Structure 1
Amino acid sequence: MRSDDAAIYREIQKNAEMGIKAIEAVSPKLTDDAFALQLSRQELKFSEIRDKARHEMLEGRAEEYRSSGVTDLMLKGGIQANTLLNTSTSHIAELMIQGSNRGLTSMWKALNHYENAGNESTELARELMDFEEKTIEKLKKYL
């Protein structure tokens, strides 16, 4: 596997993991059933995309993404701090939209930086980005 492809797959894994962990962190705070269902569907799709990237990494015998405890702690701590005084559906939707925007930005950076990546890795990256954009649109109605 080319190093550019491996880097793209690692970025896909990282983004999907962050989405999953963010949803897990906010789930206990949710009061709106429709919103909770929406986030559960997102979590499932993040898992599917992450698993596709993992599969490609295993096939190509490349080292997959491993999150650090510090990164996880910062994510969960940030969510806890941001929802300490406000656990409204609107506020949580806003936080999730901001997270999706950060994910989109990091994927664009990766695609621009690793321009020698092949079609398969870039297609999966674009699938994740399309999903993130659709997710943002769906979350806007909860603002």
Structure 2
Amino acid sequence: MDGNTELLNYIYQNSQMGVETLNQLIEIVEDHDFNKYLHSQLNEYTSLNRLALQKLKEFGHEEKGIGSMAKISAYMSINMKTLMDKSPCHISEMLIQGSTMGIINATKNIQKYNDADQQILQLADKLLKTEQNNIEQLKLFLK
């Protein structure tokens, strides 16, 4: 695979994990304001996911989805971590940790594929900025 495809698949997988995680958390969260925020975050990841998929198809490539084991592992991890504490504070902390990993990985991939198509780099940068913004917004729920 070329750098364009690798970077697009990274964006696709990252945003897909965000979509799946947020869908699971929305079912768990009882706080109305926090749930509303999670829905807005879900819309961001869904948009990024669709754009990455569209670009992959434009380049004539199929998306490489998240592996089954990674999905199951993430699902079980969320269930275990929210079993005793479903508070917005606790879930925000979990999401901040995930977004921090996302920032690190997005930065590495942007640098690794810095010669990729400009539109793809812009999409990767949008993902990076989304992760950064998520952290700032989630800090408001750390009470």
Tell me if TM exceeds 0.5.
Answer: yes
Secondary structure of 2:80's match?
helix
The aligned residue for residue 109 of structure 2 is 110
* CA offset digits 1:25-83 (Å, max 9, x no partner): 21122121111011101101111111111101101101312111111001111111111
Unaligned runs of 5+ in 2: none
Query: Structure 2: how far apart are the matches of 1:85 and 1:122?
Result: 40
Give secondary structure in 2 for the equivalent of 1:87. Answer: coil
**Partners of 2:27 and 2:55 in 1: how far apart?**
33
Matched, 1:21 2:20: yes
Q: 2:126 aligns to what?
A: 127
Displacement, 1:11?
A: 0.6
What is the percent sequence identity of the aligned residues? 25
Instruction: Report matched runs for 1:64-143 at 5 Å.
Output: 64-143=63-142
What secondary structure does 2:63 align onto?
coil
Query: 1:88 offset after TM fit, Å?
Result: 1.1
3-state DSSP of counterpart to 2:138: helix
Provide the secondary structure at the position in 2 that maps to 1:36: helix
Instruction: Check whether the contact 1:13–1:50 (CA below 8 A) recurs between aligned residues.
Output: yes
Deviating more after overlay: 19-28 vs 4-13: 19-28
Q: Is the 2:114–2:121 Cα contact (8 Å) retained in structure 1?
A: no
Deviant stretches of 4+, over 2 Å: none
Normalised TM-score (structure 2)? 0.94
CA distance in 2, matches of 1:111, 1:43: 23
Q: Which amino acid aligns with 1:71?
A: A
- Partners of 2:125 and 2:112 in 1: how far apart? 15
Alpha-carbon RMSD: 1.2
Question: What is the aligned length?
Answer: 142
Distance in 2 of aligned mates of 1:129 and 1:113: 14
Gaps of 5+ in 1: none
Q: Secondary structure at the match of 1:115?
A: coil
